[in-house]
Amino acid sequence: MKPARILFVCLGNICRSPLAEGVLRALAARKGLASMISVDSAGTGAWHIGDPPDRRSIEVARRHGIDISGLRGRKVDKPDFEAYDLILGMDGENVRALRQMAPAELSAKVHLFMAYASGRDQDVPDPYYDGPEAFERLYQMLEAGCSSLLERLDERAS
Ligand code: 4NP
Does 124 sit in the ligand 1 pocket, CB within 6 Å?
no
CB neighbours (10 Å) of residue 121? 9
| Given the residues 16, 25, 56, 91, the one annotated as active site | 16
Q: From the CA of 14, how far away is ligand 1's center (Å)?
A: 6
Whether the CB-CB separation of 16 and 146 falls below 8 Å is answered with no
Query: Is 126 part of the annotated catalytic residue set?
Result: yes
Query: Is 15 part of the annotated catalytic residue set?
Result: no
Can you give the pLDDT at residue 20?
99
Whether the CB-CB separation of 5 and 88 falls below 8 Å is answered with no
- Residue from 8, 9, 10, 17 whose mutation best tests the ligand 1 pocket (most atoms within 8 A of CB): 10
Whether the CB-CB separation of 93 and 12 falls below 8 Å is answered with no
Query: Is 10 part of the annotated catalytic residue set?
Result: yes
Instruction: Give the residue from 27, 28, 21, 30 showing the smallest Cα distance to 113.
Output: 21
Whether the CB-CB separation of 77 and 106 falls below 8 Å is answered with no
Can you give the pLDDT at residue 129?
95
User: What dotted CATH number matches 4-157?
Assistant: 3.40.50.2300
| Given the residues 40, 54, 91, 126, the one annotated as active site | 126
pLDDT tens, the chain, 158 aa long: 799 999 999 999 999 999 999 999 999 999 999 999 999 999 999 999 999 999 999 999 999 999 999 999 999 999 999 999 999 999 999 999 999 999 999 999 999 999 999 999 999 999 999 998 999 999 999 999 999 999 999 988 87
Q: From the CA of 55, how far away is ligand 1's center (Å)?
A: 12
